[in-house]
Structure 1
Amino acid sequence: MSPDSAAAAAVRLTDPAGDFLGSGFHLGAGLLVSCAHVVHGRPELTARQDGLAHPVRAVRLFPPERGPGAAYPAPDLALLTVPGLAGAPAVPLAGHDPAGDSTVLVRGFAANPVTDEIGPESARLTVAGLSGLGIRVQGGTIQRGLSGSMAVDPQGRVVGVVKATADGDDPVGGWLTPVSALLPLLPPGLAPAPSPAPRPAVTAARVAALLGAPALFQDPAARLELVQAVGERLGPGEEIRVPYHGHAAVHLRAVATACLHHRRPGPALRALLAEARELCGPHRALDELAALLAVDPEE
C-alpha cells in the first residue's frame, strides 16, 4: 500500500454534535486507533469518513486516566470499536519503529489555517530520534487536529501515531507514539506477523569454516581433489583457480573466495557443496553450509 492509498483509512473524530476533536485511523474490522487525550472524557463519540457518521460503540484508553501531568501519560493511545466501519479501507501496520533520519508522512484531519474549515491534512516529517514524549519528528508542520493520526513509512505502513505538536502557536515538528507501543495492545490477528530473521551473509570466512569442520579437508590431497572436482562439475573454462596453501584454513578460504568471485557464484558455491558431500559424505557442517546457501539438503 502506498502512502497515498493509506489516506483512505484516515478518520475524523467528533462529538455527536459534529464538533471536531481530532484524528484516527482504521486498522480493519471496525477497530480505530487514536490518542487517548483526543477522546478522554468523551462519553459519546462519532467517527466520520467519506461524509458518513458512525457511532463509536466502545473505547479503551491506555492508560485509562490522564493523571496530573501536562501531557497524557505514555502510550497515550485509544482503541475505538466502530461496527459501521467494518468494511471501510484499512491501513497496515509496520512491525518496527521508524529509523532515525527516515521520512514519515502524516495523514489525518485538521482545521485549514486559511479557511478554518476541517478537512484532510498531511505533513511530511523527518525522524530525529527518541525524546521524552516518544519519537521526535521535525522539518514539517503538525497542525492542530492531527493528534491521533497515522504516520506512515514510504510503503504506506503505520510506524507511529501523532501525539503532539512542538509549539501550539507555531506548530512545527512534534512527537509520535511509536508503533511498538501500539502492537501489544491489539487483538490477535491485527498485529503484523513478525518479520523473518535476516539470512546470514555468505562470506568466504563462513564457508571456509564450515568446509574445514569435516576432518577429511584437513588433508591437503583431499582439498586439491575438491578443487579439481568443482572445476569438473562447472565445466571447461569455468574452473576455479586456487593457489595451494599448506594451512587448511587459508587454503579453504581461498577456495571459498574463488567461488564467491566466480563469474557465476551461485553455481560455483553449489558445486563446492555438492563435491564436498561427494568426498566426505554426510556431515552436520555441510548441512549448515547447505542452509547458508539456501540449498535443499537432498539436492
Structure 2
Amino acid sequence: MTAQDAPAAALWLAGSDDEFLGSGFHLGAGRVVSCAHVVAGQPVVTVRHSGTPYPARVVLLAPPERPPGSAVHPPPDLAVLAVPGLADAPAVRLAERDIAYGTDVLVHGYAVNAVTREVGPESTRLTVAGPSGIGLRGEQGWIPRGLSGSMAVDGNGRVVGMVKATADHRNPVGGWLTPLSELLPLLGGPPSAPEPQVTALSCARLLAEVALLEDPAVRLELVQSVNEQLGPDARIKVPYHGHAYLHLRGIAAACLNHSDPATALPALLNGALALCGPHRALAELGRLLHIDPEG
C-alpha cells in the first residue's frame, strides 16, 4: 500500500444512537485500531467503512480507563477492536520503527466538516518535532476533533503513529501522536507477509521458469528421477502432456497428492536440480516447500 492508498483503510467509530466517537484504521483480518479514550465506556461500538456500519467488539483497552483527575488518557491510549465484517477491507501495514524527528507524516481519518457539519474523511500533514508531555509533538498542521485514533503514515503509507489529541481544533497548531514504539508491543509488531500457499499451480509456475523443463524428454526424465527416489512401490503416475506447463502441473499435483508428500516433494526438487542444475526458480521452490536441496 502506498501513501495514496492509505486513506482507504481509514474508519470512523460510532457509539449508541450512531454518535460519532472518533477515527480508527484497519490493520487487516478485521483488526481495527483506535485510541482507548475514543471507545472507553461505550456499551456499543460500530465501525463505518464506505458508509456501511459494522458491529465491533473491543478486545483490548490499554489502559482500560482514565484515572480520576487525569486530563488525558494515559499511554499507550490504545484500543483494538475485532470487526469480522471488515476482514476483506483495505488495510495498512505498520512500519518497523518510529519516524525521525523533523519528518512529515500524513494523517488520515474522519472529522466533522466545518462547513457541512457532517462526518466525512479528513486528512492533514504534520511535522514531527519530537517528544512532548503526552506523546510525539506534531506541528504545522490542523487536527480537528474526531481525528483521535486516526493513522499517521510515512511516505510509503506505513503507520508510524496514531493521533492522540489536538492542541486546538480551531487553529492549525498541531497536537500529539502516540509513537509507533508504544503501539508495537501490544499489536505484535509489523505483520509479516502471508505464508505462500503450496499448490500444484504455484509449484508448476516455478518449474516452468526453468528453460530445460520445456523439453519433453527432460520432463519425462524428471518423472523417472522422482520414481527412482520413491522406489517401486510408491511411484507417481503422470499422463504426458505436450504443453510444458500443464505437464509440470500434473507432476507437481502427483507429488502433492502422494501418500507421502514429505518424501515426494523433495524428490521433485532434487530431481529438477539434478537434471537442470542450480536455478533461481528452483531455489525459490525450495523455499516455498521449506526444503533444503538434498536434505
TM, length-normalised to structure 1: 0.62
Question: Could you tell me which residue of structure 2 aligns to residue 65 of structure 1?
Answer: 65
Question: Could you tell me which residue of structure 2 aligns to residue 93 of structure 1?
Answer: 94
Residue 192 of structure 1: how far off its partner (Å) = 4.1
Task: Tell whether the 8 Å contact from 1:28 to 1:91 is kept in structure 2 after alignment.
Answer: yes
Task: Tell whether the 8 Å contact from 1:57 to 1:83 is kept in structure 2 after alignment.
Answer: no
Task: Tell whether the 8 Å contact from 1:110 to 1:121 is kept in structure 2 after alignment.
Answer: yes
The C-alpha deviation readout for 1:204-225, integer Å capped at 9, x for no partner, is: xxxxxxxxxxxxxxxxxxxxxx
- What amino acid is aligned across from residue 130 of structure 1 in structure 2? P
Partners of 1:192 and 1:29 lie apart in 2 by 11
Residue 109 of structure 1: how far off its partner (Å) = 0.1
Unaligned runs of 5+ in 2: 193-295
Secondary structure at the counterpart of residue 57 of structure 1: strand
Residue 130 of structure 1: how far off its partner (Å) = 0.6
Task: Tell whether the 8 Å contact from 1:13 to 1:20 is kept in structure 2 after alignment.
Answer: yes
The C-alpha deviation readout for 1:230-279, integer Å capped at 9, x for no partner, is: xxxxxxxxxxxxxxxxxxxxxxxxxxxxxxxxxxxxxxxxxxxxxxxxxx
Q: CA RMSD in A?
A: 1.3
Task: Tell whether the 8 Å contact from 1:94 to 1:192 is kept in structure 2 after alignment.
Answer: no
Task: Tell whether the 8 Å contact from 1:95 to 1:192 is kept in structure 2 after alignment.
Answer: no
The C-alpha deviation readout for 1:177-234, integer Å capped at 9, x for no partner, is: 01111111024xx6246xxxxxxxxxxxxxxxxxxxxxxxxxxxxxxxxxxxxxxxxx
Task: Tell whether the 8 Å contact from 1:104 to 1:153 is kept in structure 2 after alignment.
Answer: yes
Question: Could you tell me which residue of structure 2 aligns to residue 55 of structure 1?
Answer: 55
Which moves more between the two structures, 170-179 or 85-94?
Answer: 170-179
Cα 1:29/1:153, change in 2 over 3 Å: same
Residue 65 of structure 1: how far off its partner (Å) = 1.8
Secondary structure at the counterpart of residue 26 of structure 1: strand
Secondary structure at the counterpart of residue 89 of structure 2: coil
Pick the structure with greater CA Rg: 1
Matched, 1:121 2:122: yes
- What amino acid is aligned across from residue 191 of structure 1 in structure 2? P
Question: Could you tell me which residue of structure 2 aligns to residue 191 of structure 1?
Answer: 190
Partners of 2:147 and 2:59 lie apart in 1 by 19
Task: Tell whether the 8 Å contact from 2:16 to 2:43 is kept in structure 1 after alignment.
Answer: no
Secondary structure at the counterpart of residue 33 of structure 2: strand
Residue 78 of structure 1: how far off its partner (Å) = 0.5
Question: Could you tell me which residue of structure 1 aligns to residue 133 of structure 2?
Answer: 132
TM, length-normalised to structure 2: 0.63
Question: Could you tell me which residue of structure 1 aligns to residue 220 of structure 2?
Answer: none
Aligned-pair identity (%): 62
Residue 16 of structure 1: how far off its partner (Å) = 4.0
Partners of 1:35 and 1:58 lie apart in 2 by 11
Residue 129 of structure 1: how far off its partner (Å) = 0.4
Count the aligned residue pairs.
Answer: 191
Task: Tell whether the 8 Å contact from 1:21 to 1:38 is kept in structure 2 after alignment.
Answer: yes
Task: Tell whether the 8 Å contact from 2:9 to 2:25 is kept in structure 1 after alignment.
Answer: yes
The C-alpha deviation readout for 1:14-69, integer Å capped at 9, x for no partner, is: 01421110000000111000000000100110000011110012331001121121
Partners of 2:180 and 2:191 lie apart in 1 by 11
Partners of 1:168 and 1:90 lie apart in 2 by 27
Partners of 1:136 and 1:51 lie apart in 2 by 32
Unaligned runs of 5+ in 1: 194-299
Question: Could you tell me which residue of structure 2 aligns to residue 197 of structure 1?
Answer: none
